Amino acid sequence: MLHRRLASLLLSAALLAALPACAPRHDPAAESFGPLLASLPPELHAALDTFRAEGPRGWAFTQTTSGEGKDRVERYDPIGRGAARWTLLLENGVAPTEAEQKRYRDTRPPLDSSAQLAAQFDRERAALVEEDADAGTATYEFALKPASETDRAAAHMRARVTLHRPTGAIVRVELFNFRPFKPASSLTIHEARTTLVYATPVEGGPALPLESSMLVRGERFWFRAFEQSVTSKFTDHENRARRRE
């Protein structure tokens, strides 16, 4: 279900790690945080086991993405087949031609693919960092497991997960680096942050995605500073699974 850009936002650590990598400098003090939980609360375990970063199956939505000089509006409908599930509505404020729509759909994945983000959270290295009794939420911080053998970013990053206790739903996920790092000899990352926000479930419904954003700030070749940011907003959710019942 994920748009390719959203998939890269969710796995920003893995995206950076795909570059030719330098071995990270070992810093035991920076790796420790806590106090670590002896075990995760059962409701958090359950939420992580069922968490889908892209939202629940069977839901249609409109995705509006802006940043890096581009604006795009797309519609996803799970009832369609393959790339036809995606429709480009606007590109930089202009409706696409038939040829442009075809080229757009040629870039869509034929199958839904979940980023499996929660699989990177190290459940044995987690800490409770904040509780909000009024909102009914608790926020937990996790160390990250490498996404692959070549992942050199995970050791420098953390994930924060906000659980809405009354519904057992995850309503916010944030990935961020806790120290600068060099995924390549010519690249230094000072800040890498991806934030996912979900609506608090109502009347037994799911936690639907509202917004995803990514910010990456650093230097190339030791002197060329850069900053990139992209934001996607999700609206007009519709439970299309009901149409199949």
Across 59-63, 107-111, 190-194, least confident range? 107-111
Half-sphere exposure of 55 (CA within 13 A, CB side): 31
- Residue 240 is inside which H or E element, if any? none
Check pLDDT > 90 for residue 89: yes
What is the four-CA torsion angle of 31, 36, 41, 47, rounded to 10 degrees?
-10
Percent of the chain with pLDDT over 90: 64
Contact 212, 64 (CB under 8 A): no
Q: Which of 63, 58, 61 is nearest to 79 (CA)?
A: 58
Mean pLDDT of the chain: 84
* Model pTM score: 0.83
pLDDT on residue 185: 83
pLDDT on residue 213: 96
Token pair belonging to 101 = 């729509």
